[in-house]
Each structure stands twice: as structure tokens, then as C-alpha cells.
């Protein structure tokens, strides 16, 4: 019987805006006029290097950044350093947009909840099932939940940069279960990453994976979780 549910953040409950929207918003803010064709080229380079937090994973990580990339979620400093360095590798048409883009990725307006996120969290609350958000991340995304009106539906946040341990290490899932007051065998982990999130199975947790599609392409994947309880 499931007595507690853990959710991943990015790609599971929320999804960041497209890389094109991300770049366009920052270019507009700093007064940089980027022609549409050039913007598309810049977006392709950003996606190649996986420079957008919460966006597509990198297809290319330069050798000198590999160690930093592996450790990016362990501290706020490494997270910022990794993503701003990858942005600079993309050679954008301005002296340095890396910091501005990184700051944009932490704004609540850059994140959209999946259509069924609130109803699923609210249904769990109605059933008396506590919820934890367990995320590999380098910044505090609690304000995203508050600004989208769902923070009161989350009981516990277990964030890698605050704990110094990241998924798939079973210790981070154990921390979440301990704070929820449930045995791992009575917990469900819902995520989108088949390596990181499946780490919960090591403890005996059930695991359910969803596809990290854009929000308009995935309307009901979270609501299906309720059928597993």
C-alpha cells in the first residue's frame, strides 16, 4: 500500500519554457535584437551543449567541463558554474548572456506546471498521502511552487544541492522517506529520468516514470499515478 509519494521537479511536475522562449526573453530584456534565423541557430547551439537548466540534456560536453557537469547538482556554485560555462560554449551573439540566461531559468515565469500537476497533488492531499519533491538541482525552486499556488500541497523538499547527495544515490530517497514518515516499501517515486529516479527502487520503493514532454503534449500522465495507489 502506498503511504507516501515522491515526485521529481523538472520534467515531472513542471517543465521549463522552450530554449527559444528562454533566449528570446533574455535578449529582449537586455535590448539585443537577434534576427529570427540567427536566433534559431543560437538555440540549436544552446541545445547542443545542454545549456538550459531543465532543458534538453547536452549532446556535447567539452572535456574540460566533464567533471563540473557530473557534480553540478551537489552545490549551488557548481550548478551555476556548469550551466553558465556551457552557455558560453554556445558562442552567443553578445559579450556574455550566460549569467542573464541562468538567472532567467530560476524565475517562476520560466516554468509551467503540467496540466494535471495541481489536481494530482490535491487528490493526494485529499487522501491523506504526504508528498515529497526530490530533485537533482542547484537552486531553491520552492518559490516556483509558491508562485504557481501548489506549495501548500508539498510536505517535504529534498534537494540535492542542500543535502550534498544526488539521485540515483539511495540516500536521498531515504532522506525523503524519513521526512515523510513512511517506509521505502510503502513509497512511490514518480520521475522522468530512468537512471536517476529509478535509484529509489534500490530501497524497495515503487517507481513510475513519465515522459518529460512539453506541457501541452502531456495532459494526463500525472493523473494516472492515482490509479497506482
Over residues 175-225, the pLDDT tens digits come to 999 999 999 999 999 999 999 999 999 999 999 999 999 999 999 999 999
What is the C-alpha separation between 140 and 73, in angstroms, rounded? 12
Find the helix packing angle between 19-29 and 36-48, rounded to 10°: 120
* pLDDT at 114 (0 to 100): 98
**What pLDDT is stored for residue 34 in this prediction?**
80
Domains belonging to the chain, first-starting first, are 4-15+111-228 (3.40.50.1000), 16-109 (no CATH)
Position 166 pLDDT exceeds 90: yes
Cell numbers at 90, concatenated: 554556445
DSSP label at 10? B
Q: Cell match 558562442: residue?
A: 91
> The whole model's pTM is what?
0.96
- pLDDT tens, position by position, 88-133: 999 998 878 999 999 999 999 999 999 999 999 999 999 999 999 9
CA distance 130 to 19: 33
Closest alpha carbon to 76 in 171, 141, 170:
141
How far apart, in whole angstroms, are the C-alpha atoms of residue 96 and residue 94?
5
Amino acid 35: pLDDT: 83
Is the pLDDT at 172 greater than 90, yes or no?
yes
**What pLDDT sits at residue 37?**
84
* Strand 131-135, strand 4-7: pairing: parallel
131 phi and psi, to 5 degrees? -125, 135
Q: Three-state SS for 134? A: strand
Mean pLDDT for 161-171 is 98
Q: What span, in angstroms and rounded, lies between the C-alpha atoms of 95 and 97?
A: 7
Q: How confident is the model at residue 134 (pLDDT cuts 50, 70, 90)?
A: very high
Write down the pLDDT at residue 93. 83
All residues at 6 or more sequence positions from 95 whose CB lies less than 8 Å from its CB, including other chains: none
Q: Which residues pair with residue 15 across a beta bridge?
A: 112
User: What is the full DSSP assignment across 188-229?
Assistant: EEEES-TTTGGGGGGGT-EEEE-----GGG-SSTTGGGGGG-
Give 220's Cβ-side CA count (13 Å radius): 2
Amino acid at each position: 500500500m502506498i503511504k507516501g509519494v515522491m515526485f521529481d521537479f523538472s520534467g515531472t511536475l513542471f517543465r521549463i519554457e522552450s530554449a527559444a522562449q528562454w533566449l528570446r526573453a533574455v535578449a529582449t530584456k537586455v535590448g539585443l535584437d537577434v534576427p529570427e534565423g540567427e536566433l534559431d541557430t543560437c538555440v540549436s547551439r544552446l541545445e547542443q551543449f545542454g545549456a538550459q537548466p531543465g532543458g534538453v540534456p547536452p549532446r556535447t560536453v567539452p572535456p574540460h567541463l566533464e567533471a563540473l557537469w557530473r557534480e553540478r547538482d551537489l552545490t549551488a556554485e557548481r550548478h551555476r558554474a556548469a550551466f553558465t560555462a556551457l552557455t558560453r560554449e554556445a558562442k552567443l551573439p553578445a559579450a556574455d548572456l550566460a549569467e542573464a540566461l541562468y538567472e532567467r531559468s530560476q524565475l517562476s515565469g520560466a516554468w509551467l506546471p503540467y496540466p494535471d500537476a495541481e489536481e494530482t497533488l490535491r487528490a493526494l492531499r485529499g487522501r491523506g498521502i504526504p508528498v515529497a519533491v526530490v530533485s537533482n538541482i542547484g537552486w531553491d525552486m520552492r518559490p516556483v511552487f509558491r508562485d504557481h499556488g501548489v506549495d501548500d500541497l508539498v510536505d517535504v523538499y529534498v534537494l540535492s544541492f542542500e543535502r550534498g547527495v544526488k539521485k540515483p544515490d539511495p540516500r536521498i530517497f531515504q532522506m525523503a522517506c524519513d521526512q515523510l514518515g513512511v517506509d521505502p516499501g510503502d513509497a512511490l517515486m514518480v520521475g522522468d529520468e530512468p537512471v536517476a529516479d529509478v535509484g529509489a527502487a534500490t530501497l524497495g520503493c515503487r517507481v513510475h516514470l513519465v515522459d518529460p514532454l512539453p506541457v501541452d503534449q502531456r495532459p494526463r500522465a500525472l493523473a494516472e499515478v492515482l490509479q497506482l495507489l
